[in-house]
Amino acid sequence: MPASFTASLPPEVPFPEPSPHSPAPESTSVPIPLVYETTELDKMSLQAYAAIHLRVPDSGIDWLDRMIRRSRELDQHSPAK
């Protein structure tokens, strides 16, 4: 990729504020923040990135396309929410 390429990372989603009527959470562990590996994103082709995020098995990478197909199959067989 060109040296001038800058990765545009999605913003982190804040945790919702607890309702005053909701019970206190049982766990006191600190949430783990999402970390986006910018070096890995720089190495990924735009075609692979688009295939992952659009869930279209057309990345040109056989194992990745199989994973996307499998994920879509699992979604079709999962119970409705």
Sorting pLDDT into bands at 50, 70 and 90, what band is 66?
very high
For residue 1, name the pLDDT band (cuts at 50, 70, 90): very low
| pLDDT tens per residue across span 15-60 | 667 777 766 666 666 666 666 666 766 788 899 989 999 999 999 9
> Which sequence spans correspond to the domains of the chain?
38-77
Amino acid identity at 71? S
Instruction: Give which of 74, 78, 49, 73 is closest to 61, Cα–Cα.
Output: 49
CA angle at 76 for the pair 75 and 78, rounded to the nearest 5°: 65
Question: Which residue has better confidence, 23 or 1?
Answer: 23
Q: Do 51 and 65 contact (CB within 8 A), yes or no? A: yes
What's the pLDDT at 51? Answer: 93
pTM of the complete model beyond 0.85: no
Contacts of 1 (CB under 8 A, 6+ apart): 42
